[in-house]
Amino acid sequence: MSGLARVDVDDGPAFSAWVECYDRAQRHASGADEGWLPEEWRARARDDAAPIHSRLYRLGPAGSPDAVAVAEYNGLDNVRLAQTELYVDPARRRRGLGTALLSGLVDEVGALGRDTLMVRALVAPASEAARAALAFADARGLAHTSTSLRRVWDLDPATLARLEDRRRARARGYEVLIVVGPTPAALLEERARLAGLIAGAVPDAGAGASEQRWDPARVRDLERHVADLGRRLVVALAREGSSGRLVGFCEVTVSRSRPRTAYQWGTFVEPEHRERGVASWMKVAAARALLAVSPATTRILTENDARNAPVIAMNESLGQRVVAENLVFVATL
């Protein structure tokens, strides 16, 4: 028996203790000063019937867990995969708790009919936490399949205005539309089509490329989920002037209750429209639109696979710098 227990987001004290342990352990490993908010965990983990949902787990007492984990189950794109994170309380390491937590997760994931376990560990680059994660994974048979680099982009309105002028001049023949909140019905089909293309366009994290099927209803589900998270969603859409077709999108989200840090979600440009400055124009336009609706926001965090050279070059040209890395491990059960 591993002692793995599920944590219910409606069980106030147990849920608060889970969030506190996760938050503390993640800051300790990564140096990050902000992470997921309790209301965001509630939105992610409340509904097992949602096609994409998370479950929260702990080892040890409900009021003071020894270790915590989260697993995200996606019933739309990859029904074999469980994407997890696991953290042992920093004061309780090297006592076999990480091993017990992993073994409990393996049992749980297998019982749910999934055979691929992905573990992500957000760590400060070249830190003791990075070494511990790599050593633990190696000792427990998890293969290190990829690394994503997290960068921060400090937003300065005057710099953004200058950047946008330059990007607009370069990406002649295109225009950028901004959508704050629900996508206008007339753009929905195209927006869904583009959303479905991104998964096949980025390096595979090691669990097999999963093709994503998107339709207008899924875009609406995403918009509802963002609202449940208590966040705003700002999307820049690139349109080719000659054909009138959408050729790319760029999404940014930010919490309404803690707006300082925004998060970059997907950015995608169709292959035949690349290397014309369209993506970086969308990024800058999305950042400016974000500041217009959320003036307290000062930075955007973004994560990209370390092998994704074009995106990294673009992000660095915008002045972004690395603050942490997500080590990705995979085990086939």
Ligand X SMILES: CC(C)(COP(=O)(O)OP(=O)(O)OC[C@H]1O[C@@H](n2cnc3c(N)ncnc32)[C@H](O)[C@@H]1OP(=O)(O)O)[C@@H](O)C(=O)NCCC(=O)NCCS
Least distance to ligand X, CB of residue 280, Å:
33
99 counts as binding ligand X under rule CB under 6 A: yes
Question: Minimum distance between the CB of residue 69 and ligand X, rounded to whole angstroms?
Answer: 9
Say how far apart CA 307 and CA 293 lie, in whole Å.
33
Which range touches ligand X (CB under 6 A), out of 107-115, 126-134, 147-155, 183-191?
A: 126-134
277 touches ligand X by CB under 6 A: no
What is the smallest separation between the CB atom of 150 and ligand X, expressed in angstroms? 15
Question: Given the structure tokens 């077709």, which residue do they identify?
Answer: 245
* Residue 141 near ligand X by CB under 6 A: no
Which is it for the CA torsion 129, 132, 134, 137, positive or negative? negative
Helix orientation angle between 216-228 and 188-195, rounded to the nearest 10 degrees:
80
Q: In the range 313-332, which residues lie near ligand X by CB under 6 A?
A: 329
Render 249-297 in DSSP notation, one character per residue: EEEEEEESSSTTEEEEEEEEE-GGG-SSSHHHHHHHHHHHHHHHH-TT-
Single residue of 133, 246, 254, 279 touching ligand X by CB under 6 A: 133
Among 7, 56, 59, 97, binds ligand X (CB under 6 A): 97
Q: What angle do CA 232, 236, 240 make, to 5 degrees?
A: 160
Range in contact with ligand X (rule: CB under 6 A) among 43-51, 136-144, 196-204, 247-255: 136-144
3-class DSSP assignment, residue 61: coil
Q: Please list every residue from 27 through 86 that binds ligand X, using CB under 6 A.
A: 29, 86
Cα torsion through 144, 145, 150, 151, rounded to 10? 120
Residue facing ligand X at closest CB distance: 98
Residues at the contact surface with ligand X, assessed by CB under 6 A? 25, 29, 86-88, 93-99, 119, 121, 129, 132-133, 135-137, 139, 142, 329
